[in-house]
Amino acid sequence: MVLLLGASLLGSCGSLLGGGRRDDLFRFGVVERADAPSARYPVPRRTLTLLRSRFAPEIEGDRILTTRGERALYIKDARWVASVPDLFAQTLERQFETRAPGIRLAAPRNAAGASQALQVTVDRFEARYHGEGDQKAPPTVLVAGGMTLFDLDDRQPVASCRLSVEEPAMTNSTTGIVAAFNRAAVRYAASIADRSAQTSCTDSMDAKTRKGQNDER
């Protein structure tokens, strides 16, 4: 059974910390299986500027958030080993390396030659308990937000979409919930990598086509 601490969604995480035993630390973004398909891209790799990801205030820290209806609760005596944005950035980088090796993610200061930028948002990152039913039933982890690819020449969006991933926890325990967070985060990041690779590749081919047409004129 998971022990939960009540909290306001916009409240300070600091008020949730109690004295006594140390919190157990967990991470997400670890691929459980090594059979994920790898995309094939020519070398050299294209650079994609990764803008700072945007997270809802209640999930920016290192607490593990759960919800039941309108109530927001953090799991007692457990937290992420680093902040959610930091762990998610690592997850995203790993998924690009695996699924889109033709793309190199880079911070703006290290993205010389990039023609596009990626903006990721995450507004839900929670284990959701369903209504007032069985209090012992495992929750479902929800990761939701969106992604936008920008053209750096004119700062206009090239592609934009909403993303949502759900993963049911196998057990109503901290380890069971963390495992569901891990699966959901990996799927969410994989979807971003796949969509970015497809859109970036298509845009690159369109640019070459336009260049060839201009050269013929």
pLDDT in tens, 151-201: 988 888 989 999 999 999 999 999 999 999 999 999 999 999 999 988 865
pTM of the predicted protein model: 0.79
* Backbone dihedral angles phi then psi of residue 12, each to the nearest 5 degrees: -75, 135
- Give the Cβ contact number of residue 178 at 10 Å: 20
The pLDDT of residue 124 is 97
- 209 within some domain: yes
Does residue 6 lie within any of the structural domains? no
Position 96 pLDDT exceeds 90: yes
Region 131-150 average pLDDT: 89
- Which helix H or strand E contains 109, and what residues bound it? none
70: containing domain: 43-216
| Residue 142, in any domain of the structure | yes
pLDDT given at position 131 = 72
Output the pLDDT for position 43.
Answer: 55
pLDDT in tens, 24-63: 999 998 876 554 455 454 555 789 999 999 999 999 999 9
The answer to the question of residue 34 being in a domain is no
Return the percent helix, strand and coil in the chain, to nearest 5. 30, 35, 35
* Residue 127 forms part of a structural domain: yes
pLDDT, tens digit, for every residue of 64-78?
999 998 899 999 999
- Quote the percentage of the chain above a pLDDT of 90: 56
Residue 19 has pLDDT above 90, yes or no: no
pLDDT at residue 106 is higher than 70: yes
The per-residue pLDDT for 211 is: 39
Q: Is residue 37 part of a domain?
A: no
- Give the model's pLDDT for residue 207: 43
Cis link prior to 44 (omega < 30° from 0)?
yes
Q: Is 59 inside any structural domain?
A: yes
> Is there a domain that residue 205 lies in?
yes
Average pLDDT of the chain, as a whole number = 81
Q: b/e per residue, 115-154, with b = 16+ CB within 10 A?
A: bbbbbbebebbbbbbeeeeeeeebbbbbbbbbbebbeeee
pLDDT at res. 22: 84
**pLDDT tier for residue 123 given thresholds of 50, 70 and 90:** very high
| CATH code assigned at 130 | 3.40.50.10610
Please give the tally of structural domains in the chain.
Answer: 1
